[in-house]
Amino acid sequence: MGVLFLPVILATSPCPDKSYTLIPPREHGARCDCYNPHPKEGHAHKVPGSKSCQYTISGRRCTATCPSGHSKRSRQAPQVLINPDRSIIDCPAGHVSCPITSLPDSHHECVDVNTDLENCGGCAALGLGKICGKHGNGVRSATCASGVCKTQSCKKGFHLDADTGKCIWRWTP
């Protein structure tokens, strides 16, 4: 689970479009004005800057910081809490921490042992579960349901035995 930070404000201009230049006000404390010496027909030479902006006036220079009305979400990488043996402390509900390999210093991952194809029924690296598809010769596809591997189909030359659920080699002379 990541940490979500809201909102980061994106800046926009207080003027109607890019043809206007922001100029300082004639009165102290007033907001800056937007000026265009050659406005489009029907547009004014000078319009007041947006009321929602904050203005900084320095000499004959005016700077505006304006909210755009849009926010940008930034995400921080999720922080995983681990034990000294590298098992994960805060796996989601219904998941367990399983080592990825059988090596003693292996990293772990959170898995649902009821549905995970590589840790069906328990952590395969600990010998507690199975890797579906590797539980018998000739398996082409398999599923993990309620922690039990179930063969769905077999490779060419094998057939699925309805009684055992295993792929059986079909010998043909």
Residue 2 DSSP symbol: -
* Whole-model pTM over 0.75: no
Query: Taking 90 as the threshold, does the pLDDT of residue 16 lie above it?
Result: no
Per-residue tokens: 129: 């579960």
Give the separation between CA 129 and CA 124, rounded to whole angstroms.
Answer: 4
How sure is the predictor about 122, in pLDDT bands with cuts at 50, 70 and 90?
very high
Q: Mind giving me the DSSP string for 27-70? A: STTSPPEEE-SSPPTT--SEEEPPTTSEEEEETTEEEEE-EEEE
Mean pLDDT, all residues of the chain: 72
Q: Quick one: CA dihedral 88, 122, 107, 143, positive or negative?
A: negative
